[in-house]
Structure 1
Amino acid sequence: MRGPATVRSGAMPGSSRAAGLHNVDARTTPTPRPARTTSVREDGLNDSDETDVFLELTVLVGFDQDLAAEATRTSNRIRGLLTQFHPSLERVLGPRLDHSAVTWLLERYGSPAALRKAGRRKLVEVIRPKAPRMATRLIDDVFDALDEQTVVVPGTGTLDIVIPSLARSLGAVHEQRRAAQAQITALLEDHPLSKVLTSLPGVGVRTAAALLVTVGDGTSFPTAAHLASYAGLAPTTKSSGTSIHGEHAPRGGNRQLKRAMFLSAFAALHDPASRTYYDKCRARGKTHTQALLRLARQRINVLFAMLRDGTFYEPRTPRLA
């Protein structure tokens, strides 16, 4: 891959339309596309290749997000049933449903009775190959939870049928997401902006792909403010009469981009500069969500500059407005 300062050449289709937009409407803004090139580049990609990568990423990112929504629905269904029939067990297994060992366990032992019948020693043995570090602790937590509840709630027996089926579905969705991520990763490796995007704290493979399919190389947006408006991250103040009700993000904007920026802002809280900015927002009385939205908006400025200049992220503590 060539140097980041020469990542792109040419202009993105639709730039002239976007240039006149100050309140960008996600429904009317042209779909970002990869920058046009006039020859085969040093990274081996020509115009047709980059367009193909962009289109494939668009399909895969949409598919992955559908799978994520399905995983959330199925997880919530499992947690709801466990809460209804055995709350203590839900507190142990619910937060760990993303782990393949837990879905595997519930596929085979879906009820409190099935877990007890299998026994502590057997469960540790069958789980250890899938979760060497957590096997003993997990099963100990499971049996502690089983001991906490002595009353059998009517209808608990149905868990033997429902929970394994849901756990099997959840495991399949997780497997599909892993396969999709592998394909997305392979496609990103061929894209000249991949390393630029992933240099930003909190931006991993999935987020980088989402940014590429929603923003492209950024040339559709003449300023960071345009990009923030498109993302629905330009703050507004609600007021009625003489009352001001506080700062909120607009309801509009591109949901996919807004979600990517919000989640990456949360993931970036381990970064010292991002954490400092977040803490300053909280010190000024902002709620957790408001502070994250402010951080996401500030990161729009950083993202815009990185795409414009083709440069990697450079840590610096941002100033509060």
Structure 2
Amino acid sequence: MIKDHDSIDVFIGVDVGKSDHHAVALNRAGKKLWDKSLPQDEAKLKTMIKVLSKHGRLLFVVDQPATIGALPVAVALASGIEVGYLPGLAMRRIADLHPGEAKTDARDALIIASAARTMPHTLRNVETADEQVAELTMLCGFNDDLTKEGTATSNRIRGLLTHIHPALERVIGKHLDHPAMLELLAKYPTPTALRRAGKARVETLLRKHAPRAFKRWVPELFEALDQQSVIVPGTEAAGTALAHQARSLAHNRAAQTDVLTLIQALVEAHPLHELLTSMPGVAIKTAARILTEVSGKDFASPGHLASYAGLAPVTWRSGTSIRGDHSSKKGNKVLKSALFLSAFASISSKDPASRIYYDKKRAQGKNHTQAVIALARRRCNVLFAMLRDGTIYDAAGQELAAA
């Protein structure tokens, strides 16, 4: 919600683009003061702001505050202008209220400016980014990309191994997170290469990277090799791909380790570190996600936070024929996932409050997933109070509340 909306004189809607943006500015009466395309350039953005500032107080609203929208937002904030963000789903719904079906940058910019002028409740504040949170956002996004790439590469490796030697895949596939197996695949990617290397060389390689596990893995590997004598067509080509994929996955794992180390350092240095991690089920990764998704946002109530995270139940009702509460399919999916997983982890933690509440919901007939979602929703109340009051988690108080 934009504060002091009534004091705004000019509403600037910017449909951001990779190389060019389109801006439309409306005054309080709805008259167009600006309707132009402008490049992704600091000087041009400052010129527009300077020209429009003559008409009074400005509100700068974008449809994308990050990536391609980061520069316009930064320029506006540096100019001392209040900046808002119109979420994509809200924008599409508002667009349906405007005449015409055309999809142009100029029309989108006009829709953003009109929403800023007439529907301030649809906007979200974009405040000056905390440097630590900005770095965390960048690193968490990079870590997500690395995780997806790593999973895809791991699946490709297992698929290739299953194609050429299923028994070998059953041994190697479950240990792909260990650097020893990736080194083995990079050097001896085919069954023939493994047989030629022999137990002694394989033992030497694995001992270097897995000093304990190699004694168990070597017999398993050669026992698996003996289960297949035929050579499947395409094995040599698969071997070439496997060697490259193994090196790629090893590089991916090393990059993830480096990124997670940086994330941990940033979270531990943040003033809210002790507060967030005092909550059962919240470790470094979850704390990082809470910081990136919640910092700088103003939530009026625990329900507002839960709704933003997509954890607030949604009632579906049509007369007397359809009734029921269902979990929302909207909201911030990154935050929802983090809060759901932390709630799940808290069930088996040393804090009994989560387990008591979870068991209570199961006793009411909810299945496992529903009970965890209900627990995550309840923990939104606790998190909201902790952030509002600046207090750490009170285990004793929560246990009494959950009973």
TM-score normalised by structure 2 residue count = 0.62
Spell out the pairing of 1:28-43 with structure 2 (5 A cutoff): 30=124
From the superposition, tell whether residues 257 and 88 of structure 1 become closer, same or farther in structure 2 (CA, over 3 Å): same
Give the number of the structure whose alpha-carbon radius of gyration is greater: 2
From the superposition, tell whether residues 221 and 140 of structure 1 become closer, same or farther in structure 2 (CA, over 3 Å): farther
The answer (yes or no) to whether the contact 2:356–2:402 under 8 Å persists in 1 is: no
User: In the aligned structure 2, how far is the partner of 1:149 from the partner of 1:318?
Assistant: 61
Pairwise CA distance, 1:240: 6.6
From the superposition, tell whether residues 129 and 214 of structure 1 become closer, same or farther in structure 2 (CA, over 3 Å): same
Structure 1 stretch 176-185 or stretch 297-306: which is displaced more?
297-306
Q: Which residue of 1 aligns with 2:132?
A: 53
Pairwise CA distance, 1:174: 1.4
- What whole-Å deviation, never above 9, does each CA across 1:189-247 have from its counterpart, x for those lacking one? 32100121122223222221111010017x61121111111011112355677565865
Pairwise CA distance, 1:161: 0.6
From the superposition, tell whether residues 246 and 52 of structure 1 become closer, same or farther in structure 2 (CA, over 3 Å): same
Matched residue type, 2:388: R
From the superposition, tell whether residues 253 and 302 of structure 1 become closer, same or farther in structure 2 (CA, over 3 Å): same
The answer (yes or no) to whether the contact 1:203–1:264 under 8 Å persists in 2 is: yes
**Alignment pair present for 1:290 and 2:384:** no
Structure of greater relative contact order (alpha carbons < 8 Å, 6+ residues apart) = 1
If each structure's strand is expressed as a fraction of its own residues, which one has the higher value?
A: 2
Matched residue type, 1:55: A
The answer (yes or no) to whether the contact 1:103–1:171 under 8 Å persists in 2 is: yes
The answer (yes or no) to whether the contact 1:26–1:254 under 8 Å persists in 2 is: no
The answer (yes or no) to whether the contact 1:32–1:220 under 8 Å persists in 2 is: no
**What is the CA RMSD across the aligned residues, in angstroms?**
3.2
From the superposition, tell whether residues 156 and 238 of structure 1 become closer, same or farther in structure 2 (CA, over 3 Å): farther
User: In the aligned structure 2, how far is the partner of 1:98 from the partner of 1:78?
Assistant: 12
The answer (yes or no) to whether the contact 1:32–1:215 under 8 Å persists in 2 is: no
The answer (yes or no) to whether the contact 2:309–2:332 under 8 Å persists in 1 is: yes
User: In the aligned structure 2, how far is the partner of 1:26 from the partner of 1:199?
Assistant: 35
Q: Which residue of 2 aligns with 1:257?
A: 335
From the superposition, tell whether residues 152 and 194 of structure 1 become closer, same or farther in structure 2 (CA, over 3 Å): same
The answer (yes or no) to whether the contact 1:238–1:245 under 8 Å persists in 2 is: yes
Q: Which residue of 2 aligns with 1:45?
A: none
Matched residue type, 2:289: A
Q: Which residue of 1 aligns with 2:314?
A: 236
Q: Which residue of 2 aligns with 1:191?
A: 270
From the superposition, tell whether residues 214 and 139 of structure 1 become closer, same or farther in structure 2 (CA, over 3 Å): same
From the superposition, tell whether residues 191 and 153 of structure 1 become closer, same or farther in structure 2 (CA, over 3 Å): same
Identity %: 48
Matched residue type, 1:304: F
User: In the aligned structure 2, how far is the partner of 1:63 from the partner of 1:186?
Assistant: 16
User: In the aligned structure 2, how far is the partner of 1:54 from the partner of 1:29?
Assistant: 21
Any gaps of 5 or more consecutive residues in structure 2? 6-86, 91-121
User: In the aligned structure 2, how far is the partner of 1:220 from the partner of 1:124?
Assistant: 58
Structure 1 stretch 273-282 or stretch 157-166: which is displaced more?
273-282
Structure 1 stretch 112-121 or stretch 274-283: which is displaced more?
274-283
DSSP-derived class of the 1:119 partner:
helix
User: In the aligned structure 1, how far is the partner of 2:321 from the partner of 2:202?
Assistant: 60
Spell out the pairing of 1:45-194 with structure 2 (5 A cutoff): 51-194=130-273
User: In the aligned structure 2, how far is the partner of 1:96 from the partner of 1:242?
Assistant: 54
User: In the aligned structure 2, how far is the partner of 1:110 from the partner of 1:275?
Assistant: 47
Matched residue type, 2:334: Q
From the superposition, tell whether residues 116 and 30 of structure 1 become closer, same or farther in structure 2 (CA, over 3 Å): farther
The answer (yes or no) to whether the contact 2:158–2:169 under 8 Å persists in 1 is: yes
Matched residue type, 1:297: R
From the superposition, tell whether residues 310 and 66 of structure 1 become closer, same or farther in structure 2 (CA, over 3 Å): same
TM-score normalised by structure 1 residue count = 0.76
DSSP-derived class of the 2:209 partner:
coil
Pairwise CA distance, 1:276: 4.3
From the superposition, tell whether residues 112 and 266 of structure 1 become closer, same or farther in structure 2 (CA, over 3 Å): farther
Matched residue type, 2:385: A
From the superposition, tell whether residues 200 and 144 of structure 1 become closer, same or farther in structure 2 (CA, over 3 Å): farther
Matched residue type, 1:301: N
From the superposition, tell whether residues 248 and 81 of structure 1 become closer, same or farther in structure 2 (CA, over 3 Å): farther
Any gaps of 5 or more consecutive residues in structure 1? 1-12, 18-23, 35-49
Q: Which residue of 2 aligns with 1:225?
A: 303
Pairwise CA distance, 1:115: 2.6
User: In the aligned structure 2, how far is the partner of 1:89 from the partner of 1:239?
Assistant: 54
Find the partner of 1:300 among 351, 355, 380: 380
